Amino acid sequence: MGIQNRRERERAERHQLIIDAARELAEEEGWDAVTTRRLADRVEYSQPVLYSHFKGKDAIVRAVAIQGFGVLGQELRKARPRRGQTRLRATAEAYLEFARKRPALYDAMFVQQIDLSFGTEETPAELREAFAEMVAAVEPVVGQRDLETLTEVYWSTLHGIATLTRNARLRTGEHEARLELALGALSLAQQEDRP
């Protein structure tokens, strides 16, 4: 009994060890460098051990991505508006900073194909919670509009800025101006609604 317990605990630890090693390797050298051989080397087990924990490489990336949503959720939760700053802006800045500072993690969450759908029953809690933070940020400016839809637009804008910036498709150095314009646009309707 106790032995079984220890084994399960060790197994869970190794499971997490693999996920961490994959994330670290990706953050150091990009996802192209994350091969099953290098990953196995890093955790000091042979390749087949990976397959006793995950169905395949995709499942490992997927696990990294889900935990990435957990980290994103934390970052957004921590982002409290500074003096004179709206929550909409504080959250947006935190989101974009996350995308910029952890490109490999963001990649796993959004660029690598990992078959992770939102808004269905089996959506992991991490995803739901991160989305909830964005809903809360949008709520103060929603006005007459539909809250969830507006949040999706807000998120899309941030995601678009994040990815286009990364691919060098936007002018550099205009980051602040873009954010200003984007947030201004999303908020303005609120002012419109006031008499």
Partner DNA sequence: TCGGAAGTCTAGCGGTGCTAGATTCTGGAG
Partner DNA sequence: CTCCAGAATCTAGCACCGCTAGACTTCCGA
Residues that bind DNA (CB under 7 A): 3, 7, 11, 34-38, 45-49, 51-52, 56-58
- If one asks whether residue 149 binds its own copies (CB under 8 A), the answer comes out as yes
Rounded Cα distance, 21 and 71, in Å: 16
Q: CB under 5 to 8 A by kind: which of its own copies, DNA, none does 46 bind?
A: DNA
**Taking Cα atoms as reference points, which of 97, 64, 106 lies closest to residue 79?**
97
Question: Binding mask 68-87 vs its own copies (x if CB under 8 A, - otherwise)?
Answer: --------------------
Q: What is the DSSP letter of 141?
A: G
Q: Which of 38-46, 54-62, 86-94, 152-160 is the region at the interface with its own copies (rule: CB under 8 A)?
A: 152-160
Q: Min. distance of Cβ 117 from DNA in angstroms?
A: 20
Binding its own copies by CB under 8 A: which of 64, 105, 178, 194?
Answer: 178
Nearest approach in angstroms of CB 105 to its own copies is 16
One of 5, 117, 121, 194 touching its own copies (CB under 8 A)? 117
The full 3-state SS of the chain, as one line of letters, equals CHHHHHHHHHHHHHHHHHHHHHHHHHHHHCHHHCCHHHHHHHHCCCHHHHHHHCCCHHHHHHHHHHHHHHHHHHHHHHCCCCCCCCHHHHHHHHHHHHHHHCHHHHHHHHCCCCCCCCCCCCCCHHHHHHHHHHHHHHHHHCCCCCHHHHHHHHHHHHHHHHHHHHCCCCCCCCHHHHHHHHHHHHHHHHHHHCC
**Which residue's CB is nearer to its own copies, number 1 or number 168?**
168
164 near its own copies, judged by CB under 8 A: yes
Among 5, 169, 194, 195, contact with its own copies (rule: CB under 8 A): 169
Q: Interface with its own copies by CB under 8 A: which range of 18-26, 40-48, 76-84, 155-163?
A: 155-163
Toward its own copies, which CB reaches closer, 18 or 162? 162
